[in-house]
A and B are shown apart, each in its own frame.
Chain A
Amino acid sequence: MNTSINQDINQNNQQQSLFRSRDPLHLTIGLLFITTILVTIGNLIFAESSAFHVSDYTVSLLGKYLCYALLALAVDLVWGYCGILSLGHGAFFTLGGYAMGMYLMRQIGDRGVYGNPDLPDFMVFLNWTELPWFWAGSNSVIWMVCMVFLGPGLLAFIFGSLAFRSRVSGVYLSIMTQAMTYALMLAFFRNEMGFGGNNGLTDFKEIFGFSLQSPSTKLGLFIATAIALALAYCACHFIVKSKMGRVVTAIRDSESRVRFVGYKPEHYKVWIFVVSAMLAGLAGALYVPQVGIINPGEFSPLNSIEMVIWVAVGGRNSLYGAIIGAIIVSYAKTRFTAIMPEAWLFALGGLFVLVTLLLPKGIAGLLPSIKQKFANTADSVEAKS
């Protein structure tokens, strides 16, 4: 539509001005590093009675938030930098989670309720006598690591190459991704799928030989998540800064112009979509051992929308914004459900409306303007750059 082109241009102007604020790579990584160190010290060194003590519960909770942050990063990469609003990133996240869950399931061995050394409990219950083919190899770490990336990556590749080649874009694409995750949810609910049906995979015992119940494993998982987030952040940062990243950003701003210049936008889109899906898968894989369960409910379209909300609140077009958004919204959710369970939907819903109306650039959009003010008044050196 003609009108939308005009509006697109307006929007692009906004986005470009936003994009000029540089991603504080060192600051973000540094903060992440310091937090991790502090949490580790708090958990290991300070006694339980100390005010500086960080309980195991908090460690797991923080670990979960970091998984969400990683996931938000993945969403931001496609939405903020390529303009693809995916309402189905939950699917990639969950697939990664299932890959990890399958591995963990096999680690239970004969400690399951039916004591079958080869088959997970739910298969014994279904009267299956041998592992289905898609579970083959699931007890090896290498298989698991491959599947964490391959599963979501392959789905993203197939979906992306079909969709982007036929130039499905904008709102249509969003709805398609939503339908995709919805279909997967329905499929995984089925017991015959061989993924544990509605109950999903749970009751994990150990990971890489470490007991999942021990505090040190939890801390280890938290640190691993922090490292993964840091690496992913760097990777995203370099992708965005690379030539490819520039093309991707250009596609977001005007796909047809990029095409006229001679690039093939669909290739770039598929590529960034796949990378993002793999990151989401990684987040899912780290999430599962920390929360202890993966089930088809994670595919629910609502979850995927919530991910988008994180990014919107934090501010798209800035990688650290996604991280901030994921952590703040998740934390708010935890707090709200504890303090006023009956009202949390009001608060959450209100937050979405207000942020989109008043803070289109998200929280990250606030920071530069604050900095600007600060710079103007203090006349600091910052202003020159």
Chain B
Amino acid sequence: MHRIYLLLLLIFISGQSAALQPDSDTQSNSQLSGLLNQLPKTKLRKMAPLIEKISQTKQPQTRAILQFMLDGELYYLRANKQVVHAQSTENNLYELTDVLTQESLTPVKKSRLSKVKTNNRLRSTLRNILAKIDLTDDDKQIRLQAVQQLLSSPSKQSAAIITELIDDETDQDVRALMATTLALQQLKSGSSDEKLIALEQLSGSLEPTVKNEIVSLLENLPNKDLTAEQQILKSQLTNALDEIDNRASFYSAIETVFFGLSLGSVLLLAAIGLAITFGVMGVINMAHGEMIMLGAYTTYVIQLAFPSMIEYSLLIAVPAAFLVSGFVGILIERGVIRFLKGRPLETLLATFGISLVLQQLVRTIFSPLNRQVVSPEWMSGSWQINPIFSLTYNRLYIILFSIFVFVSLLMILKKTSLGLHVRAVSQNRDMARALSIKSDWVDAITFGLGSGIAGVAGVVLSQLTNVGPNLGQAYIIDSFLVVVFGGVGNLWGTLVAAMSLGLTNKFLEPLTGSVLANIIVLVGLVLFIQKRPKGLFPQKGRSAD
């Protein structure tokens, strides 16, 4: 029912009702095929009117054709310019369907096909056209998106369609959004009274278009000699704008906190492994960054090995990366570090050498190019809380994950016998040995644990940045600073340090730009350490020298 109603309406609006009788199916079918034939020849700039015409043919195929075009699946055969829908199959061939008749054609190679070109502007035109058609879709979600789309580029035409549809709309959300769209139209082109009513209706809406409309209305009001009517309007508009701005700055503050926490949690993940090796063993591991890198490459290899399980790849990669990096860590400890006990500066040099070797190893095995690590669907996109405030899923998960890692590590150190031994060795190595704790064994395991967690951090970083041989180097200095700032040997200190660095950085960034923000944080840290050499939470007691 809706569809026909809408159809009639559209035809009425376009003023072509005489030329287009909806019942003369064959005629408009041939019209559609005529228009389609123009597709291959038309230049991109002249495409928009053609698409508009195609959308008005109102054939059952029309929507699908436009959707194909939007998705870049509309091709034509080079030989006879027949417009087809093409989808690539496994063996480099393209499966073809004639868009008009829906019949399948023999698959061909890519070289026999040409794409019906679109560009960003055309695609947004297409989206608008599709949105108008979708307003009558049965799925509530699709209707909601359609209204959203029309709201973001308001026009009289779409307002007219919505006016017709709003009364029949059953869903609350869709209806509310439709009302907003209409009110916006009123605000734009209504009389002064209508504007005031619309403003009343729109109060509390955070849609950017509403704000833009208010701003442009305010700008268009004359500066002086306002009529009484205009004065009321002006004060109402100003009030509305103030309210929107207030709420926007509130949300943007929350957003900045979120950004800071998410940066902090990345720092925490990168640094916490170091906090263990450095804190417990007093060993500076310059190859820590490379442990992170190994974790990221493990993710890559996992995705390569199980291409069909991208959605679960991260879940497999986390333990795998832990094992790989942990194993390499133990190798390094057994092979090199244990011979350099008590010579922290030499350890620093040797592990630096190891980091060079590991980098080159990865470069030789995987090529110096960055490797492609795919983000699973559930890591992409954002949680839209309101029109101006959303949290990206990947950051959200990373914050949660880093808390999980932190808590489990805390548990391991506090509740297990391994943790007991580790703490004993870190507080007083000789005494621990005297109590028959195998400090060598504890060292190896601790180092493995620290490195393994670095590997886990690598999995997380593979979702945020490039996976290449230099990945680790970018994080090593930051990690060290976090550990030293927090106070060596104190996991809580590391947590507080990472979060406060993240927050400081993000709050500085809008003021100073990101380059200067980095420098200020660094210099601030250096000065802080000069004041409090043992960090925020120094280890207390006799063991602390």
Contact = CB atoms under 8 A, between A and B. Distances in A.
Nearest to A344: B360
Interface stretch (B2-10, B186-194, B209-217, B516-524): B516-524
Identify the interface centre among A4, A79, A309, A343: most chain B CB within 10 Å of its CB.
A4
Given A186-B522, A190-B515, A343-B360, A352 B353 contact: yes
B342 A170 contact: no
B525 A352 contact: no
Contacts of A142: none
Q: Is the interface of B mostly helix, strand, loop or mixed?
A: helix
B343 A11 contact: yes
B360 A176 contact: no
Given A1-B282, A168-B533, A345 B349 contact: no
Interface string A3-23: 110111011000000000000
Contacts of B532: 166
B520 to A, nearest CB: 9
Interface stretch (A53-61, A118-126, A177-185, A274-282): A177-185
Contacts of B354: 349, 353
A2 B342 CA distance: 11
Interface string A160-188: 00110011111110111011101100110
A246 B513 CA distance: 48
Q: Is the interface of A mostly helix, strand, loop or mixed?
A: helix
A85 interface: yes
B358 to A, nearest CB: 8
Contacts of A172: 484, 529, 533
Contacts of B484: 172, 175-176
Contact of A162 (B364, B480, B527): B527
A178 B480 contact: yes
Interface in B240-264: none
A312 interface: yes
B132 to A, nearest CB: 49
Contacts of B345: 79, 85, 170-171, 174
Interface in A1-47: 1-4, 6-8, 10-11
Nearest to B353: A352
Contacts of B350: 352-353, 356-357
A301 B531 CA distance: 23
Contacts of A355: 349
Contacts of A182: 477, 522
Given A11-B342, A167-B533, A186-B515, A349 B349 contact: no
Given A1-B282, A174-B345, A356-B346, A349 B525 contact: no
B417 interface: no
Identify the interface centre among A159, A168, A170, A350: most chain B CB within 10 Å of its CB.
A168
A173 B148 CA distance: 57
Nearest to A190: B515
A171 B353 contact: no
A351 interface: yes
A223 B349 CA distance: 33
Interface in B4-19: none
A179 B350 CA distance: 20
A345 B356 contact: yes
B171 interface: no
Contacts of A343: 360
A228 interface: no
Interface stretch (B78-86, B152-160, B333-341): B333-341
A69 B344 CA distance: 25
Interface string A353-365: 1011100100000
B352 A168 contact: no
A350 B353 contact: yes
A343 B163 CA distance: 71
Contact of B339 (A7, A301, A357): A357
A172 B344 CA distance: 11
Contacts of B348: 85, 171, 174
Interface in B495-542: 515-516, 518-519, 522-523, 525-527, 529-533
Contact of A179 (B516, B526, B545): B526
B519 A348 contact: no
Identify the interface centre among A85, A172, A190, A342: most chain B CB within 10 Å of its CB.
A172
A178 B341 contact: no
B124 interface: no
Contacts of A350: 353, 357
19 contacts: A1-B282, A3-B430, A159-B526, A166-B531, A168-B530, A170-B344, A176-B526, A179-B525, A301-B477, A305-B286, A305-B352, A342-B364, A345-B363, A348-B353, A349-B358, A351-B353, A352-B353, A356-B346, A357-B350
By Cβ-Cβ distance, the 5 closest A-B pairs, closest first, are: A7-B342, A352-B353, A349-B356, A345-B360, A349-B357
Given A186-B518, A346-B361, A353-B357, 14 more contacts: A7-B341, A11-B342, A85-B348, A159-B526, A172-B484, A178-B477, A179-B526, A182-B477, A182-B522, A183-B523, A183-B526, A352-B352, A356-B346, A356-B350
Interface of B: 282, 284, 286, 336, 339-350, 352-361, 363-364, 428-430, 473, 477, 480-481, 484, 515-516, 518-519, 522-523, 525-527, 529-533, 543-545
